[in-house]
Structure 1
Amino acid sequence: MYLRAFKEQLVAGPVGARPRAGEYTSRFERWDALASVRRRPRREFEGEGTGSLFFPPELYPVVKHPMVASRGEAVVRGLLLQRLYDYLDFTTELENLAVIPVATKISRGRSGLGLPEHMRADAHKIVTDEAWHAQFSDDFVRQITSSTGCPRLGVEGSEGPSFVTRLDELRERLPHALRGVEALLFAIVSETLISGILSDIPRDDRLPSPVRELVRDHAEDEGRHHVYFRSVLRYLWPALTPSERRAVGPLVPGAIHAFLEPDYGRAASHLAGIGLKREEIDQVISESWPAHEVRRDISGAASQLTRYFAEVGALDDVRTLSSFEEAGLVGIVHESEKAGYVPREVTA
């Protein structure tokens, strides 16, 4: 069992038989001076300030729904606290289940790709970063629970964040010989998208300062990871055979949605906790996250990543392009594109 696990590659087959392409410029030369695990203190939650919110309500629109807002400020604040718990739990599970295993495989030469030696060495640093993110997120949950006296709700019997089951569904759609690629693909998707998700929270003065500082620590590290995994994509796609690209490409929008789509199940659990009935929960969720708005928001959040896949030629395949079109990921001009926005690459 352990020998098999050691030998398993993310992309199966002889590495030497695959084309080697791509380029890599490290952003980790000054990792010792910049990484949050090296230079940032343990963030301590000492209680929220007067009027503080635990999470931006714009990012959790159920709290603005009349059926919820009419129940009073205390209910809204309680739901935002549960959303903060979910965010921290999501971070811990994402790092432990999705990113660390992939970065570990890369660091040990088990990616199945012909990566430069210094790229493998940088993957070790990512493993260290992500373990710290998982640890400080879990630690912060414990601190907040102790400080507020409000436990996490709906955890017992939970299957975890929705991306876990969505990723399993993607894996089932791959031929057996290609299973493992979805893990690498999802790491690329999540690590290039998460830096954008984290960008606004540290500037939100409505949140307690320890929350903003914790997210800022995470965001600074993820900027470097974004650049790294963009480079991984440049190595991955040319290394796949045409038939492998045809199998993997149409699944990319599913991986994007697995990461970005709201976790409706967790929201339903929280709404049930404030006394809403099933039909009321369904109404609040459907009206808070209209399908067309979710589709538009995902498309906007993923516009940079979509360009990355276009750059490596993934959208040259008809079925892959059709899958992106059906998901609403291409054909929409976003404000960032109108302004000629170029994603910021964090320098070391």
Structure 2
Amino acid sequence: MYLEAFQQQLLPGHAADRSHRLDYASRFERWDDRAGVRRKPRRSYEAGGGPGLGLFFPPELYPVALHPLVAARGETTVHRLLLQRLYDYLAFTTELESVAVIPVAIKISRSRSGLPLPEHMQADAFKIVTDEAWHAQFSDDFARQVAAETGCASQNLAGTPPAFLPRLDELRDRLPAHVRGVESLLFAIVSETLISGILAGIPRDGRLPQSVREVVRDHAEDEGRHHVYFRSMLRHLWSGLTPRERRAIGPLVPSVIYAFLEPDYARAADHLAAAGLSAPESDQVIAESWPSAATQAEVAEAASPLVRYLQEAGVFEDARTHEAFESSGLLDAGPSSRSIVADGAPLLCTPKEFTR
């Protein structure tokens, strides 16, 4: 078991047989001076924000909290929902880093990506491991502080896994055996190139407690470097794949994107039930908060930087891959009525046929 885990690669095959790119510009030369784990203090939760009760999370980024059926139950209900949304964000961050990003970065750092990467690119991956472990730890620590100060714990006491995990299991089952495992590298690329933009607005929201804004800002600053790293990783990955592998992987990339951007409907339903809504009311709130056409456009907008990187890497040269992106709506990015953040990162919804 342990020997097998040691030898397992992200991409099957021999790295030496793959096309080798030499281009890589490190953004980690001053990591010792700039990394959050090196220079940021432990953030202590302090209540407060704008007028009234203050907010734990921007309600525009969690639209169920703005629905009339929820608002009718009073300001306290809305604020409790937003507190649970903050817990979800913090838990998602901890699980994303621990389960999805750190294992991938470890494999890259130990020459087990399956790709012929420059040595300094592998060394930088170890710095990402350290960054992400810090993000996971301070998110978990901050959630514990919030619970202690508010007297209201997270409703996910059973530790239900985030929705991206079963989605990735489904995707792995759809991949041919000769590329199975690459979905974890693709998901790391997707999440790390999109999350820095997603986090950008929250630190500037004066309605939130300053300590909440500081925690998100600390995360976002490190993720800016990770964004550049994984953009480069995408180029190395795609150039290293064989034409057969590209044909197998490309049409499934939209599903990887939706695994990250689609909301955790079950978690939202749990929160609405705890707020006293019936199952039919909860279904109505979820359906009306994330209508298909509008949220499909928001998914495309949120994913647009990554779609541009995919195009630069030559991903759309395969006709079936281009068709899959087109049918998923990911090539139709345009301004949307709101920016949404969800599952820890984006809380977006899209028709189910685009995620299967």
Question: Please, what TM-score do these two structures have when normalized by structure 1?
Answer: 0.94
Deviation at 1:160? 1.3
Aligned to 1:130: 132
Judge conservation of contact 2:300–2:332 (CA < 8 Å) in 1: no
Deviation at 1:264? 1.0
Unpaired runs of at least 5, structure 1: 336-348
| Corresponding position: 1:196 with 2:203 | no
Judge conservation of contact 1:237–1:314 (CA < 8 Å) in 2: yes
Alignment of 1:214-233 (within 5 A): 214-233=215-234
Deviation at 1:161? 1.0
1:302 is paired with a residue of what secondary structure?
helix
Give the whole-Å Cα distance in 1 for the aligned partners of 2:114 and 2:62.
Answer: 39
Aligned AA for 1:4? E
Judge conservation of contact 1:261–1:294 (CA < 8 Å) in 2: no
Aligned to 1:42: 42
Deviation at 1:47? 2.5
Aligned to 2:261: 260
Give the whole-Å Cα distance in 2 for the aligned partners of 1:22 and 1:117.
Answer: 10
Judge conservation of contact 2:190–2:306 (CA < 8 Å) in 1: yes
| Corresponding position: 1:209 with 2:240 | no
Aligned to 1:20: 20
Give the whole-Å Cα distance in 2 for the aligned partners of 1:246 and 1:76.
Answer: 47
| Corresponding position: 1:78 with 2:102 | no
Judge conservation of contact 1:22–1:231 (CA < 8 Å) in 2: no
Give the whole-Å Cα distance in 1 for the aligned partners of 2:22 and 2:247.
Answer: 20
Deviation at 1:212? 0.2
Cα offsets for 1:287-320 (capped at 9, x unmatched): 0000111111010010110011111111110111
Aligned to 2:273: 272
Aligned AA for 1:316? E
Alignment of 1:172-191 (within 5 A): 172-191=173-192
Judge conservation of contact 1:303–1:334 (CA < 8 Å) in 2: no
Judge conservation of contact 1:57–1:80 (CA < 8 Å) in 2: yes
2:146 counterpart (134, 144, 147): 144
Cα offsets for 1:186-243 (capped at 9, x unmatched): 0000000100110000000000000000000000000000000000001000111111
Aligned AA for 2:145? Q
Judge conservation of contact 1:23–1:234 (CA < 8 Å) in 2: no
Give the whole-Å Cα distance in 1 for the aligned partners of 2:251 and 2:277.
Answer: 38
Judge conservation of contact 1:299–1:328 (CA < 8 Å) in 2: yes
| Corresponding position: 1:53 with 2:55 | yes
Judge conservation of contact 1:154–1:270 (CA < 8 Å) in 2: no
Aligned AA for 2:249? V
Aligned AA for 1:39? R
Which consecutive aligned stretches of 4+ in structure 1 deviate over 2 angstroms post-superposition? 46-51, 331-335
Deviation at 1:331? 3.8
| Corresponding position: 1:117 with 2:119 | yes
Cα offsets for 1:76-97 (capped at 9, x unmatched): 0000000000000000000000
CA RMSD of aligned residues (A): 1.1
Give the whole-Å Cα distance in 2 for the aligned partners of 1:333 and 1:67.
Answer: 30
Matched positions, count: 334
Aligned to 2:347: none
Give the whole-Å Cα distance in 2 for the aligned partners of 1:46 and 1:275.
Answer: 28
Aligned to 1:342: none
Give the whole-Å Cα distance in 2 for the aligned partners of 1:228 and 1:187.
Answer: 11
Give the whole-Å Cα distance in 1 for the aligned partners of 2:333 and 2:83.
Answer: 34
Aligned AA for 2:130? T
Deviation at 1:179? 1.2
Deviation at 1:22? 5.7
